[in-house]
């Protein structure tokens, strides 16, 4: 069969390398689903071998951008021009996704983005750029909705908010959206704490939170910083009533394993968790066990799985177009709706700016390393522990 090459451009080295490698594994898992016969998996294109009746197979070309935008840009060029990939999936870091997708747009090539969350990505008016993940804007609104719900139904009395975020593209965007959402919901922001990622300690940052003592905290921290943050809060023996996190650290199973019971009762927005999947995405679990876990030694996480979704979307579009014709495929991705076994909402549909209109994330709370869904009500499977159990009572 003829190969259709797809680039998988992620941070395979550098500070975000853990997640980057998960993302590549996730894309590879999806490619396996497509390329081989998987009658056991009930997903589009799983049963058959390859695309268009076996005429094409997907070949993934991994590439490393090291977390650096300039490298992402030149690797994207290399993938399109030299490797002749049909499309690129990437780049995890919004800061890398931006220049890499600009390359695609200029060359009129398809660029697919799973989990980069900066809202700005889909505000550029690009025609060949599609993103699966809910943006920070969407998540922020959901977070404050949840707080409103808690205040109303549970008498939570949450009036003040603190935000702690890494001072990067990701963190700053998240914080911006948090501020906007908080303003609309009349939450007073009493602590606004950016920090340098990769810091040697977060003592003063946490001390600032503690002395402002907000009722709720929104956090945006990647893996190592997330666990440092949690541990430092334990050290100073302080917790807000409720702490909700944007992506990464919180939803990374490896990080949670290391935090152990210290990670309990934190909340976060996610699109995937093994617990959710058991209920709503049984097929995703099959893919995970068959193709992902053998590679990554851990379950899917909410970031990486979205990269797999984007490959499935691309494959379905190619199938419909009957072959790798960029214009046709882009048009189909833009207009059609795709069933997706690995998306919580079960389908993907892009609005005109390339943002997945069906993007959905739920708020979960961690109990004994299990992500229990607490909001929205439709997906809710357990009552939240509110306020968080203090450190000395655990």
Ligand X SMILES: CC(C)C[C@H](N)C(=O)O
Residue ranges binding ligand X (CB under 6 A): 92-94, 115-118, 169-170, 247-248, 303
Which residue, 115 or 181, is less far from ligand X as judged by CB?
A: 115
Q: Could you tell me the smallest distance in angstroms from the CB atom of residue 173 to ligand X?
A: 7
Give Rg (Cα) of the chain: 20
Phi, psi (degrees; rounded to nearest 5) at 103: -60, -45
Q: CB burial class (10 A; 0-12, 13-18, 19+) of residue 274? A: middle
Structure tokens, 120: 């700005």
Pick one of ligand X, other proteins, none as the site partner of residue 251 (Cβ within 5 to 8 A by kind).
none
Structure tokens, 10: 């992620």
Contact 195, 178 (CB under 8 A): no
Contact 322, 52 (CB under 8 A): yes
Pick one of other proteins, ligand X, none as the site partner of residue 303 (Cβ within 5 to 8 A by kind).
ligand X
Q: Which segment (32-40, 103-111, 136-144, 145-153) binds other proteins by CB under 8 A?
A: 103-111
Q: Which of 13, 36, 326, 334 binds other proteins (CB under 8 A)?
A: 13
The helix or strand, by DSSP H or E, that contains position 113, with its residue range, turns out to be: strand 110-113
**3-state SS class at 228:** helix
Pick one of other proteins, ligand X, none as the site partner of residue 93 (Cβ within 5 to 8 A by kind).
ligand X
Cα 147 to chain centroid, rounded: 22
Q: Which of 53, 203, 282, 390 binds other proteins (CB under 8 A)?
A: 203
Q: Could you tell me the smallest distance in angstroms from the CB atom of residue 123 to other proteins?
A: 11
179: left (phi over 0), alpha (psi -120 to 50) or beta: alpha
Q: Which segment (39-47, 105-113, 151-159, 377-385) binds other proteins by CB under 8 A?
A: 105-113
Binding residues for other proteins, rule CB under 8 A, total 69
Q: Does 173 bind other proteins (CB under 8 A)?
A: yes
53: left (phi over 0), alpha (psi -120 to 50) or beta: left
The helix or strand, by DSSP H or E, that contains position 352, with its residue range, turns out to be: none
Which residue, 261 or 352, is less far from other proteins as judged by CB?
A: 261
Q: Which segment (39-47, 99-107, 268-276, 343-351) binds other proteins by CB under 8 A?
A: 99-107
Structure tokens, 230: 């949690």
Tokens 């451009």 belong to which residue? Answer: 9
List contacts with other proteins (CB under 8 A).
Answer: 12-15, 17-18, 21, 62-64, 66, 68-71, 73-75, 77-78, 80-82, 95, 98-99, 102-103, 105-107, 120, 124, 167-169, 171-173, 193-196, 198-201, 203-205, 207-208, 211, 223-224, 227-228, 231, 234-237, 254-255, 258-260, 262, 391
């Amino acid at each position: 069969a003829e190969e259709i090459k797809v680039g998988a451009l992620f941070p395979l080295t550098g500070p975000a390398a853990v997640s980057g490698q998960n993302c590549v594994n996730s894309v590879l898992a999806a490619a396996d689903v497509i390329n081989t016969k998987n009658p056991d998996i009930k997903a589009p294109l799983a049963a058959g071998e390859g695309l268009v009746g076996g005429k094409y197979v997907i070949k993934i070309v991994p590439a490393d951008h090291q977390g650096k935008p300039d490298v992402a840009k030149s690797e994207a060029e290399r993938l399109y021009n030299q490797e002749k990939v049909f499309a690129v999936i990437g780049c995890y870091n919004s800061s890398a996704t931006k220049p890499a997708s600009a390359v695609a747009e200029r060359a009129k090539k398809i660029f697919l983005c799973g989990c980069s969350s900066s809202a700005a990505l889909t505000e550029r008016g690009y025609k060949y750029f599609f993103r699966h993940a809910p943006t920070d804007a969407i998540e922020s609104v959901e977070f404050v909705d949840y707080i409103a719900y808690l205040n109303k139904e549970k008498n939570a009395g949450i009036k003040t908010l603190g935000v702690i975020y890494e001072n990067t593209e990701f963190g700053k965007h998240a914080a911006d959206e948090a501020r906007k959402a908080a303003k609309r919901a009349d939450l007073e922001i009493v602590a606004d704490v950016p920090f340098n990622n990769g810091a040697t300690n977060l003592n003063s940052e946490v001390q600032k939170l503690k002395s402002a003592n907000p009722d709720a905290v929104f956090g945006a921290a990647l893996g190592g910083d997330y666990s440092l943050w949690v541990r430092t809060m334990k050290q100073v023996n302080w917790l807000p009533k409720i702490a909700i996190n944007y992506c990464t650290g919180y939803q990374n199973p490896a990080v949670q394993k290391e935090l152990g019971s210290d990670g309990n009762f934190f909340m976060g927005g996610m699109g995937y968790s093994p617990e959710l999947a058991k209920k709503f995405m049984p097929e995703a679990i099959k893919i995970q066990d068959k193709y992902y876990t053998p590679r990554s030694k851990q379950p899917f996480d909410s970031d990486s799985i979205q990269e797999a979704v984007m490959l499935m979307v691309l494959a379905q579009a190619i199938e419909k177009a009957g072959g790798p014709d960029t214009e046709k495929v882009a048009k189909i991705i833009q207009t059609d709706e795709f069933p997706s076994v690995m998306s919580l909402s079960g389908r993907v549909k892009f609005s005109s700016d390339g943002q997945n209109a069906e993007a959905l994330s739920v708020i979960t709370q961690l109990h004994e390393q299990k992500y229990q869904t607490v909001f929205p009500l439709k997906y809710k499977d357990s009552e939240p522990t509110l306020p968080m159990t203090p450190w000395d009572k655990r």
